């Protein structure tokens, strides 16, 4: 230790420890038990959801709060959200998805899905599952990607991504 700096633990004869116990109610930030050993995935899902839908300075505010996307009053409390999540299929690795992208976050409009499903349910998604299946069917029939893109009214890049297995992997030809 530098000269003139002393450790008050050693002066009192106490054993020096650098860590405090932060488990359960000993943690000064304890509210719900999901922060033990770091924040839980579900807590981060809730926190990110709230931030997107309530903070007009959020980097994606134009897609959420400025479009009128809100969080219902009930879910502003993490305990209520976590109870709903546990009863409605929440698992580690799933994301929260709004069934109707023009409505807010509430029990009737939300579900937990894989990231792939969440990406498909977006205002930016150009095709749906039936068009993806049609594209796969036309690819297997040997049509050119450019012709398929014209037939399905999408870009050749979408057809190429499907052809190379980068997107819509789980969709079967119909």
The better pLDDT of the pair 7, 31 is held by 31
The pTM score is: 0.58
Read off the pLDDT of residues 76-119 as tens digits, 9 standing for 90 and up. Answer: 999 999 999 999 999 988 889 898 888 999 999 999 988 777 77
Read off the pLDDT of residues 21-78 as tens digits, 9 standing for 90 and up. Answer: 555 555 555 555 565 556 688 888 899 999 999 999 888 888 888 889 999 999 999 9
Read off the pLDDT of residues 108-159 as tens digits, 9 standing for 90 and up. Answer: 999 998 877 777 666 666 677 788 888 888 998 999 999 988 888 888 888 8
Strand partners, 95: 113
The pLDDT of residue 127: 73
Q: Does the pLDDT of residue 16 top 50, yes or no?
A: no
The pLDDT of residue 22: 52
The pLDDT of residue 166: 83
Average model confidence (pLDDT) across the chain: 79
Output the DSSP codes for the chain. --TT---HHHHTTPPP-S----SGGGSTT-SSSTTTTS--HHHHHHHHHHHHHH-TTSTTGGGTGGGT--B-GGGGSHHHHHHHHHHTT--TT-EEEESSTTS-BSGGGEEEE-HHHHHHSSTT----HHHHHHHHHHHHTT--HHHHHHHHTS-HHHHHHHHTTSS-TTPPP-
Q: Which is nearest to 42 in space by CA: 34, 32, 50?
A: 34
Residue written as token pair 């399905």: 152
The pLDDT of residue 66: 87
Band of residue 172 on the pLDDT scale cut at 50, 70, 90: confident
């Amino acid at each position: 230790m530098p000269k003139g700096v002393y450790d008050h633990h050693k002066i009192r004869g106490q054993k020096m420890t650098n860590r405090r116990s932060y488990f359960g109610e000993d943690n000064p930030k304890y509210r719900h038990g999901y922060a033990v050993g770091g924040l839980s995935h579900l807590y981060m899902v809730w926190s990110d959801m709230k931030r997107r839908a309530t903070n007009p300075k959020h980097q994606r505010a134009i897609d959420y709060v400025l479009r009128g996307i809100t969080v219902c009053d009930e879910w502003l409390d993490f305990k209520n959200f976590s109870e709903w999540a546990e009863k409605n299929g929440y698992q580690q690795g799933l994301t929260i998805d709004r069934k109707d992208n023009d409505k807010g976050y509430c029990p009737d409009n939300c579900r937990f899905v894989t990231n792939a499903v969440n990406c498909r349910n977006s205002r930016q998604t150009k095709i749906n599952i039936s068009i993806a299946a049609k594209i796969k069917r036309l690819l297997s029939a040997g049509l050119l990607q450019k012709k398929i893109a014209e037939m399905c009214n999408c870009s050749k890049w979408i057809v190429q991504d499907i052809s190379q297995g980068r997107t819509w992997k789980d969709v079967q030809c119909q």
